[in-house]
Amino acid sequence: MSSEHHRETTQQKPAILEGMRVVELSAFVAAPLGGMTLAQMGADVIRIDRPQGGLDYRRWPVTENNDSLFWAGLNKHKRSVAIDIAKPEGRELAQQLICAPGQDAGMLLTNFPARGWLDYHALAEQRNDLIQLTIQGDRHGGSALDYTLNPRLGLPYLTGPAREGKELVVNHVLPAWDLVTGQMAAVGLLAAERHRLRSGQGQHVQLPLEDVALSVMAHLGFIAEAELGVERKGCGNDLFGAFGRDFATADGARVMVVGLSLKQWQSLVKATDSAAAVAALAERLKVDLNLEGERFKARVELAEIIGPWIATHSFAEVQARFDDCGVCWGKYQTVAELVREDPSCSTDNPMFSRVQQVGIGELLSPSVPLNFATGRVDAKPAPSLGADTEEVLLDVLGMSSGQLGSLLAKGIVSKK
């Protein structure tokens, strides 16, 4: 018995969303992440996939055998029912699952278009308190990906080395909008379910990726700044609006240091023995460097004070001194170094356990980062496609084994 199973069976209390049931029809990042967040909090999340898998079933990174680490990562803790939804009978079956009874069921999370067999009103005929949350590309139902949306926001001009002109665009690697949207999908489902519990009413909730990104660009002040006529320039690795940037240590390590709050700034000045030089600079520039904005304006001069101290100390010395003084800092490391050397990225961190993933092997697998006092459930692997077809059709839909056999024979469903 693996330690994963051992830890799970010692779990005392039911997980926080125990009893909730969500059906998921999805691909890529946002919707699967939203569903997985609920699953890792104890909801029964049932993925419906075509027997051969959906659009993201081979999404990179993949193993040598072309098994997707991406798909396995985003579908942990779910159940899988394989239904051929290209066939009318398969679609009807999927509709039955979506609309199956249960006070805490009747919830659909999808990024498939809410039309045809997934039209909310059509589904609501089978369950009038259905909650459907549809992640859309834009508010009109058009498609958009994180990668095509992000260029429209201006960020690729502000990312990377400081420069004039617009030739160099730098995409960021992280699908940040998908990640935010996935969590907002979980927010939306929980809010709609809260409302249903009080009112008895279901609803269709739409969540456009484009609107998530635009709202955040406004929340952070990017849009207001442009409305006021200020054109922000890229500032490379400098923290915008205060003091922060990367520096090399004497032995070639690289660290990010931040003096955003006054306390952080004072810690950094103390740790690098820079008080006198900083005071002289403030005197020379006739500014108050205790104000974060003044630190940003004087960032080049300040880096010339802070940098040499770091450049003449080894990483070990920098680390000891910074931690001693309470500096806010971080080390640049590769993903390989993170996995090999960082204790937070190991089972030292109770969020992680080692989980056997069919076809791939044992993986360091995180549960949900929300640590509820009512208990955290260890990560479970992603299902094989169709692993739960039989169980779900018998238990949730109350099907007989004869009916199941007929569906299997006709190729409407498959099981692993």
Ranges within 174-233 binding its own copies (CB under 8 A): 174-176, 179-180, 183-184, 186-188, 190-195, 197, 201, 203-208, 210-212, 214-228, 230-232
Residue 288 falls in the annotated catalytic set: no
CA-CA-CA-CA torsion sign (141, 142, 148, 151): negative
325: contact with its own copies by CB under 8 A: no
Element at 206 (helix H, strand E): strand 203-208
One residue of 152, 163, 284, 410 binding its own copies per CB under 8 A: 152
Rounded Cα gap, residues 195 and 320, in angstroms: 52
Using the rule CB under 8 A, give the single segment among 32-40, 82-90, 272-280, 385-393 that binds its own copies: 32-40
Residues of span 124-143 touching its own copies by CB under 8 A: 138-139, 143
Number of residues located near its own copies, criterion CB under 8 A = 147
Q: Are 131 and 197 in contact (CB under 8 A)?
A: no
Rounded Cα gap, residues 145 and 388, in angstroms: 30
As measured in angstroms, the least distance from the Cβ of 70 to its own copies is 4
DSSP state of 226: H
As measured in angstroms, the least distance from the Cβ of 318 to its own copies is 13
Q: Are 85 and 48 in contact (CB under 8 A)?
A: yes
Rounded Cα gap, residues 139 and 152, in angstroms: 16
One residue of 45, 46, 48, 74 binding its own copies per CB under 8 A: 74
Nearer to its own copies, 1 or 335 (CB): 335
Work out the burial of residue 12: count CB atoms within 10 Å of its CB; fewer than 13 is exposed, 13-18 middle, 19 or more buried. exposed
Coil, strand or helix: which one is 295? helix
Using the rule CB under 8 A, give the single segment among 111-119, 234-242, 271-279, 402-410 that binds its own copies: 234-242
DSSP string, 128-159: TT-EEEEEESSTTS----HHHHGGGGTHHHHS
One residue of 89, 91, 112, 240 binding its own copies per CB under 8 A: 240
Binding mask 333-372 for its own copies (x = CB under 8 A): xxxxxxxx-x-xx---xxxx-------xx-xxxxxxxxxx
* Given the residues 44, 49, 84, 178, the one annotated as active site: 178
Residues classed as catalytic: 178
